[in-house]
Amino acid sequence: MALDGIRMPDGCYADGTWELSVHVTDLGRDVTLRVTGEIHIGGVMLRLVEKLDVKKDWSDHALWWEKKKTWLLKTHWTLDKYGIQADAKLQFTPQHKLLRLQLPNMKYVKVKVNFSDRVFKAVSDICKTFNIRHPEELSLLRTQRSIEEKKEEVGRSVKTMTPTYDAHDGSPLSPTSAWFGDSALSEGNPGILAVSQPVTSPESLAKMYKPQTLLDKAKINQGWLDSSRSLMEQEVKENEALLLRFKYYSFFDLNPKYDAIRINQLYEQSKWAILLEEIECTEEEMMMFAALQYHINKLSIMSSENHLNHSDKDVDEVDAALSDLEITLEGGKTSTILVRLRPSEMCPHVSCRPKKLTLKGYKPYWCTFKDTSISCYKSKEESNGTPAHQMNLRGCEVTPDVNISGQKFNIKLLIPVAEGMNEIWLRCDNETQYASWMAACRLASKGKTMADSSYGMEVQNILSFLKMQHLNPDPQLIPEQINTDINPECLVSPRYLKKYKNKQITARILEAHQNVAQMSLIEAKMRFIQAWQSLPEFGITHFNARFQGGKKDELIGIAYNRLIRMDASTGDAVKTWRFSNMKQWNVNWEIKMVTVEFADEVRVSFICTEVDCKVVHEFIGGYIFLSTRAKDQNESLDEEMFYKLTSGWV
C-alpha cells in the first residue's frame, strides 16, 4: 500500500489505478476519481455521487463521453470495454433536457426530452405528451443557422408553454393534457394544439423563409436528424430550437375521434406549405385553399364557445362525412363499389407527344382502357383491330393540368421507357370524363386496375376536389360586402398578392367560400388535407444527387411510393421507379453510395452531394415500413423493424 501514491511515467499509479476526470454539469465543477479499467460504469457513477456529497436526485444523470459522442448507458460495462483511458474527459449530466420545438403550426413550446434516447424514441415520447398518434410519421428537423435566426425573430413574441417534469423519468408532473390533450376537448376547451391559429400578421408572413427553387427545398432537407442516433450524438444542445414536422407523407388512419390534435397539426403543416410556396398550386386551387382557411378560422373562433359542446352529434355527422373523405394513401379503407369504364366514357382526344415535339397539336383517337394499358385507335370502327398506339401505365407519373374556368381538363403522363420517360397528354371533354380517366390512370400507375375496390372512391374524391374549385359569383354580393374580416395577405401566397389587388382576391375568396360554407370544422380541415394531397408535387422530398455515370448534379425525389430522378433546373421527372417493384436496396458506407435494385432494372446508384446518404436511406426504409403497416392495417408499431429498415441493418 505504500506504493499507492507513486505515479508512473504513463500517468498511472503503481497500484494500477489512474485518474479519471468527470465534469458535473449541474454543479459546473470537475471531479477526479482514482479508478482501474476493470471498474464498471455503474460503479464510477456511485463513487462520483458519494464524493460529491450533495443531496440531490441523481437518478436521471448518466455519463457522456464528449470526444466519442457516446452515452455510457451500459452500466455493467467496464471502462476497459468502453475503451476509456486516463485522457478521457467525461460529463455527468442529466439525460432529460429542455428543447424548444416549433410545431407544424409555427408555435414554439418548451419540452423536456431524453437526450440519450434515439431520436425515434424521443419523438414518440414527445407525441405521447402532445397526444399525437402514429409518431413514426414525424421527426425533428434542424434548420440552417440563417433560417433559424429569421424564425427566432418571428417567434420571440410567441409565449412558450413550459410544463413541469419529474426529474427522475421526465414525465409531466402537472396535467399538461389540460392544454395538450383530450381532457380539454371533453370539457369544451379544444386546447391550443387542436385549434387552428390563423395568420394575423402579413409582416410576419413576409419575413418567413420561402424556398425559391427545388435546390432550396433540397437544402432544407439536409436538416433531418438521424432517427437511430440520440440528440447529443448529433450535437443538439439544451434549449436549441428544432422543428417537429410530419416527415413521411403517408398518414395512417386519420380519425377525428382520436386525432383532433394530429389532424390540426397536419392541416397547419399543409397550410404553411401552401402559403410559403413550398408546393405549387394553380390560381383556382389557391383561392379554394384560401376559402377553406377563411372558413376554418371562423369556425375555430366559434369552437372555444360552443362548436365542440355538441361533440356526440358532430362526431356522428363527421363519421358519415368521412366515409367520402378517407385520405389514407395506401391500404386504407376503400369503397366496396365496383365501377368499370364503358366505351362511352372513354376520352376521345389523345395525343402522343414525345418531349422533343411539344408544339405538336392534339390528335383525336378512340381509346379503350383495359387493365393498366391504354389502347388508341384511329376510329371507333377500328377498335376491334390492332391499336395505333398502346401504352402501359404501370410505374408512370400522373400529373393533372386543370383549369376549371377555362374548361381545361388535361392529364399529363410520363411513361418509363429504356431511354427515360415518354411524355403523353390526355385531353378530356368534361369533369366526369376527367375524373374517370384520372382515377384509372392513378390506379394503373400503381399496377391496379379499375376493378380495384378503391376506384369508385378515387373518382368521387377527384370530383369533390374539382367541385370545391368552382367559382359561383353571388349576384347578391355588393361592393360593400367585400370589406369583410378577410385579410387576403394572410390567406394566399405572395405570388398572387402581386398579381391582383386585395379587393379582387377578397371577392374571389368569398365566391370560393360558397362551396365550403356548409362544412363542419373537422370536415373543412380534412378537405384541406385531401386537396393538398391531390397536388402534383405533394409528398416529394428532394435531395441533391449525382447518379452513377452522370456528369452533373441532379435531384432525387422520394415520395411515399416511388423514387424520381429529376432535372435540377426544371424539376421535370427523368425517370420514376416504384417501391412496389423494388427488390432490395443498400448503401456502400465507404463511398456513401445508395444502390436500389428493381425487378425491371439492373440497379439505380447515386451519391448524395450535400447530405449524408443515411438521411436518404432512412426515407426509403421509412416508406417501405409505412407501406407495410398500411397494407397490413397494423395499428401497433414494430420499432425494431423500423430501426432495421432505416439504419441499414437489413
Given a cut of 70, whether residue 482 has pLDDT beyond it is no
In single-letter form, the type of residue at position 6 comes to: I
Return the CATH fold of 349-450: PH-domain like (2.30.29)
425: closest CA among 374, 492, 483?
Answer: 374
459/43 Cα distance (integer angstroms)? 66
Q: In this predicted model, which residue has the larger pLDDT, 172 or 644?
A: 644
Q: What is the pLDDT of residues 208-261, one digit of tens each?
A: 888 888 888 888 899 999 999 999 999 999 999 999 999 999 898 889 989 999
The fraction of the chain above a pLDDT of 70, given in percent, is: 77
| Dihedral sign from CA coordinates of 560, 566, 568, 570 | negative
pLDDT grade for 161, boundaries at 50, 70 and 90 = very low
Question: For all residues of the chain together, what is the average pLDDT?
Answer: 80
593/591 Cα distance (integer angstroms)? 6
Backbone φ, ψ for residue 114 (5° rounding): -75, 110
Given a cut of 60, whether residue 323 has pLDDT beyond it is no
Cell numbers that stand for 28 in this block? 459546473
Q: How many CA atoms lie within 13 A of 647 on its CB side?
A: 14
Backbone φ, ψ for residue 307 (5° rounding): -65, -40
Backbone φ, ψ for residue 261 (5° rounding): -75, -45
Given a cut of 50, whether residue 555 has pLDDT beyond it is yes
Cell numbers that stand for 492 in this block? 394566399
Q: Do domains 101-147+172-281+291-303 and 540-648 have the same CATH topology?
A: no
> Architecture of domain 17-94 in CATH?
Roll (3.10)
Q: Which of 130-139, 300-309, 349-358, 436-445 has the lowest mean pLDDT?
A: 349-358
Residue 490: CB atoms within 10 Å: 18
150/296 Cα distance (integer angstroms)? 28
Cell numbers that stand for 445 in this block? 400507375
Whether residue 275 contacts residue 133, with contact meaning beta carbons closer than 8 Å, is answered with no
DSSP codes of every residue in 365-385 = -EEEEETTEEEEESSGGGTTS
Per-residue H/E/C for 319-368: HHHHCCCCCCCCCCCCCCCCCCCCHHHCCCEEEECCHHHCCCCCCECEEE
Name the CATH code of domain 540-648 (choices 1.20.120.1200, 2.60.120.10, 2.30.29.30, 3.30.70.100).
2.30.29.30
219: closest CA among 153, 141, 151?
Answer: 141
Show me where the domains of the chain are located.
17-94, 101-147+172-281+291-303, 349-450, 540-648
DSSP codes of every residue in 202-258 = HHHHHHS----SHHHHHHHGGGBPPTTSBTGGGTPPTT-EEEEEE-SS------TTT
Helices 283-303, 521-533: crossing angle, 10 deg rounding: 150
pLDDT grade for 295, boundaries at 50, 70 and 90 = very high
**What is the chain's Cα-based Rg?**
29
What pLDDT does 293 receive?
95
Q: Which of 51-60, 226-235, 383-392 has the lowest mean pLDDT?
A: 383-392
Given a cut of 60, whether residue 567 has pLDDT beyond it is yes
> Architecture of domain 101-147+172-281+291-303 in CATH?
Roll (3.10)
In the chain, count H helices and then E strands: 19, 23
